[in-house]
């Protein structure tokens, strides 16, 4: 019961605070629309919002899958070769010093105004968290367990498959949960820089026409998309944790 009531109460509290701010400041609706107005505009433009949400959701899901697979494969490769990890990890950390957002215009030039540049943004933004979290898990296996495997005559590839990877699944799950929240940010920034579809584009369009209520409605659609994605990934993460059953 608490699973339903707590989020519901939190949502109602948020809406109440929003309405209170509108009343207290007396802001006009083209600056700060009230929740009711946003709901009304959202309902009236439901087809439009749904169409753009579908575009963003497609970019995010494809980006999430590609970024997670690439991140996981990189982590396995780095864990399998400590020498490669010593060489590559500092470079990976260095790439994080470059704001991914700054790459959006370049990616648009390279990959065009279509979905590819937005998917690439989502991939870039989640690649490091997934790689880092999974690599941590893969390399934190008890040395005594690795010793036992060695005395049993295990090959490094079997140690990876049968010990390291199952052991690191909870870490991968943590990385994926972070990725589920970051991926929509990447896609929307890509849409802001150059696109003709998606929630980022719709927000810019609404902003240009001073339709703040439509902007808010688009923003809420994006938030719902992110929460749904996080929920779906959390269920997957829960399954990964059950497989590992770390006490």
Partner 1 sequence: MSIATSITVQGSYRIADKALFDGVSLTIPAGQWSCLLGRSGVGKSTILRLILGLETAGQFEGAIAAGDGKPIRGRASYMAQSDLLLPWLSLRENVVLGARLRGERPDLDRADAMIAQVGLTGDHAKKPGALSGGMRQRAALARTLMEDCPIVLLDEPFSALDAGTRADMQDLAARVLKGRTVLLVTHDPAEACRLGHHVNVLSETGIAPWPVPGSAPVRRVDDPGLLHAQAALLSHLRGAA
User: Contact residues for partner 1 (CB under 8 A)?
Assistant: 142, 144-145, 147-155, 158-159, 162-163, 166-167, 243-247
Whichever of 69 and 145 has its CB closer to partner 1, that residue is 145
Cα 63 to the center of its chain, rounded Å: 9
Q: How far is the CB of 176 from partner 1 (least distance, A)?
A: 18
CA-to-CA distance for 64 and 120, rounded, in angstroms? 10
To the nearest whole angstrom, how small is the minimum distance from the Cβ of residue 162 to partner 1? Answer: 6
Closest distance of CB 159 from partner 1, Å: 7
CB of residue 224 vs partner 1: minimum separation in angstroms?
A: 34
DSSP per-residue codes, 132-156: HHHHHHHH-S-HHHHHHHHHTT--H
Q: Report the C-alpha gap between 213 and 227 in whole angstroms.
A: 21
Give the helix/strand (H/E) hosting 100: helix 100-111
Min dist CB 164 to partner 1, Å, is 11
Q: How far apart are CA 116 and CA 108, in angstroms?
A: 9
The Cα 198–Cα 208 span in angstroms is 16
C-beta separation of 64 from 183 below 8 A: yes
Q: Which is nearer to partner 1, 51 or 147 (CB)?
A: 147
């Amino acid at each position: 019961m608490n699973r339903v009531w707590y989020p519901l109460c939190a949502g109602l509290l948020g809406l109440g605070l929003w309405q209170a701010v509108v009343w207290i400041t007396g802001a006009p609706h083209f600056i700060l629309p009230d929740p009711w107005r946003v709901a009304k505009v959202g309902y009236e433009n439901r087809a439009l919002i749904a169409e753009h949400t579908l575009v963003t959701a497609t970019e995010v899901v494809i980006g999430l899958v590609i970024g997670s697979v690439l991140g996981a494969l990189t982590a396995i490769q780095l864990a399998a070769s400590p020498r490669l990890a010593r060489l590559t990890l500092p470079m990976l950390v260095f790439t994080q010093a470059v704001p991914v957002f700054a790459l959006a215009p370049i990616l648009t030039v390279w990959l065009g105004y279509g979905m590819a540049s937005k998917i690439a943004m989502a991939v870039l933004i989640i690649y490091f968290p997934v790689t880092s979290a999974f690599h941590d898990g893969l390399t934190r296996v008890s040395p005594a367990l690795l010793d036992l495997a060695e005395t049993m005559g295990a090959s490094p590839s079997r140690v990876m498959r049968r010990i390291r990877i199952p052991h690191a699944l909870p870490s991968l799950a943590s990385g994926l949960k972070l990725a589920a929240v970051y991926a929509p940010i990447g896609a929307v920034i890509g849409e802001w820089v150059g696109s003709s579809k998606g929630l980022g584009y719709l927000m810019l369009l609404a902003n240009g026409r001073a339709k703040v209520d439509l902007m808010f409605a688009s923003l809420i659609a994006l938030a719902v998309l992110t929460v749904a994605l996080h929920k779906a990934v959390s269920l997957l993460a829960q399954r990964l944790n059950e497989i590992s059953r770390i006490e």
